[in-house]
Amino acid sequence: MYNFAYMKSPNFLKNYTIAELRDYVRGMGEQAFRADQLFDAMYAQGIEHIHDIATLPKALRETLEQETVMSAVRLQKIQESNDGTKKFLFELFDGRAIETVLIPSEMVTDDGSPKRMTLCVSTQVGCPLNCQFCATASLKLKRNLFVAEIVDQLLAAQRYTEKKITNLVFMGMGEPMLNYDNVMAAVSIFTHGDTPLLGSKRITLSTAGVVPGIVRMADEKSPIKLAISLHATTNGLRKEIMPIARKYELTELGNAIEYYYRKTRRAVTYEYILFEGINDSEADAKRLARFTRRVPSKVNVIPFHDIEFTNPTGIAAELKPTSREKFKGFISLLQSHDVTVMIRSSSGVDIDAACGQLAFSNASTETTTPLLSEVL
Ligand code: SF4
């Protein structure tokens, strides 16, 4: 369906799940426990260079240095918002770039630090789905990210953040269901072992409604959480603002979500951006309540964030944020229909890091350091 630009990955160490890494070191004539030591060094200890892994014999370190590549992303730029949100621009081995956003929660602990630090991770360079409210869509799809490029977003962001990253959402650039295998391999790396980087309940995959991916998560009883970007309650409007709806209409999407719930018994989250005069009426609220109550769920209502920097045309140019009064009224209506509602804040909006704004708008991809591709 989509014209993916496939390419071969360099031999990134972080492409390997633990089982694959054991096979890999066995293939080098080593015992499997060396893979566990390597895994521990990369993820539990956060060691960045193979030659610093003291638990491995020198000869193995030298071979690994010759055959493999440790880091898959290179930090190009960090922007920090007034509200503490950080946006990272990472350069990839082929000179392409992605953005990753770290959002501190507004809720704080007794010592005043954020209760949660949530990392919004990209899964593709660009995106093919062309949602009309999303800046990433303007980039189109360049390629899927490799496992290591997904994993390293967390490790690299953690390196530049004092507080531990506690939650991760696949909600950055790209549609994670269209890079399913690599996303799930990254999940298995994040959640492996006695002291995982993250627990599976702290990881959420957000999809624009790619039904086969939802069914696959259900069949595999995927341990992570599922979120659905809904944004419209009629097929007509959804097709206009989210072209993926031309392939998977609301009935099919709703059935897949029900199937997911029957298989996993896990509640889902819906995301709903409010657009003035387009999807914010009383009828919209009633339809949204009806659709979402089919399974245990909550609805994140999200303010629309400006994407004028992408020079939108057509319906995209008509999208405006709903007024504050209407926003509040819409939430009250949902609550009156027993919907559990969360209001997503506009964290990072001043640095174009809020929901739907990732497209390198403020970020130069010019480098002053050598390109990663030049040093591999
Ligand atoms: S909202 Fe998500 S799925 Fe839609 S175009 Fe943007 S990145 Fe792609």
Domains and CATH numbers, the chain: 15-70 (1.10.150.530), 118-351 (3.20.20.70)
When mean pLDDT is compared across 39-53, 90-104, 250-264, 297-311, the lowest value belongs to 297-311
The pLDDT confidence band at residue 107, using thresholds 50, 70 and 90, is confident
Hunting for tokens 């062309």 — which residue is that? 130
Report pTM: 0.92
Q: What is the pLDDT of residues 189-224, one digit of tens each?
A: 999 988 899 999 999 999 999 999 999 999 999 999
DSSP structure class, residue 114: B
Collapsing DSSP to helix, strand or coil, 230 comes out as coil
Tell me, using a 6 A CB cutoff, whether residue 174 lines ligand 1. yes
Q: What is the whole-number distance in angstroms between the Cα of residue 336 and the centre of ligand 1? A: 30
DSSP structure class, residue 202: G
Identity of the amino acid at 81: S
Give the pLDDT of residue 365: 36
Tell me, using a 6 A CB cutoff, whether residue 319 lines ligand 1. no
More confident residue, 344 or 147: 147
When mean pLDDT is compared across 37-46, 137-146, 292-301, 339-348, the lowest value belongs to 339-348
Identity of the amino acid at 98: I
212: alpha, beta or left? (left if phi > 0; alpha if psi -120 to 50) = alpha
DSSP structure class, residue 165: P
Structure tokens that stand for 69 in this block: 């590549």
Structure tokens that stand for 364 in this block: 């130069």
Query: Partners of 255 in the beta sheet?
Result: none
Tell me, using a 6 A CB cutoff, whether residue 134 lines ligand 1. yes
Q: What is the whole-number distance in angstroms between the Cα of residue 366 and the centre of ligand 1? A: 25
Rg of the Cα atoms in the chain = 21
- Which whole number is the average pLDDT over 233-252? 97
Collapsing DSSP to helix, strand or coil, 204 comes out as strand
- 80 membership: H or E segment, kind and range: strand 74-80
Give the pLDDT of residue 4: 46
Identity of the amino acid at 107: M
Hunting for tokens 């006695």 — which residue is that? 194
Q: How far is CA 44 from CA 32, 40, 190, in A?
A: 18, 5, 10
Active site residue 325: no
Query: Partners of 303 in the beta sheet?
Result: 274
Q: What is the whole-number distance in angstroms between the Cα of residue 376 and the centre of ligand 1? A: 31
> Do the Cβ atoms of 171 and 227 come closer than 8 Å?
yes
State the helix-helix crossing angle for 324-336 and 282-292, rounded to 10 degrees: 40
Give the pLDDT of residue 54: 96
Q: What is the whole-number distance in angstroms between the Cα of residue 24 and the centre of ligand 1? A: 35
Q: Which residue out of 30, 99, 149, 175 is catalytically annotated?
A: 99
Pairing mode of beta strands 74-80, 143-144: unpaired
Atom of ligand 1 nearest to the CA of 206: 2
Q: What is the pLDDT of residues 72-101, one digit of tens each?
A: 999 999 999 988 899 999 999 999 999 999
Rounded (to 5) percent helix, strand, coil in the chain:
40, 20, 45
Identity of the amino acid at 367: T
- Which whole number is the average pLDDT over 288-295? 97
Residue of 2, 125, 131, 230 to test ligand 1 pocket, by largest number of atoms within 8 Å of CB: 131
Tell me, using a 6 A CB cutoff, whether residue 129 lines ligand 1. yes
Q: Which residue out of 120, 127, 134, 355 is catalytically annotated?
A: 355
Active site residue 120: no
Tell me, using a 6 A CB cutoff, whether residue 208 lines ligand 1. yes
- 241 membership: H or E segment, kind and range: helix 235-241
In whole angstroms, what is the distance from residue 162 CA to residue 356 CA?
26
Q: What is the pLDDT of residues 30-57, one digit of tens each?
A: 999 999 999 999 999 999 999 999 999 9
Q: What is the whole-number distance in angstroms between the Cα of residue 142 and the centre of ligand 1? A: 13
More confident residue, 292 or 308: 292
Residue 93's nearest CA partner among 49, 122, 125, 119 is 125
> Do the Cβ atoms of 38 and 177 come closer than 8 Å?
no
Phi, psi of 14 (to 5 degrees): -85, 5
> Do the Cβ atoms of 166 and 202 come closer than 8 Å?
yes
Tell me, using a 6 A CB cutoff, whether residue 132 lines ligand 1. no
In whole angstroms, what is the distance from residue 28 CA to residue 60 CA?
9
Identity of the amino acid at 146: F
319 HSE (CA, 13 A, CB side): 28
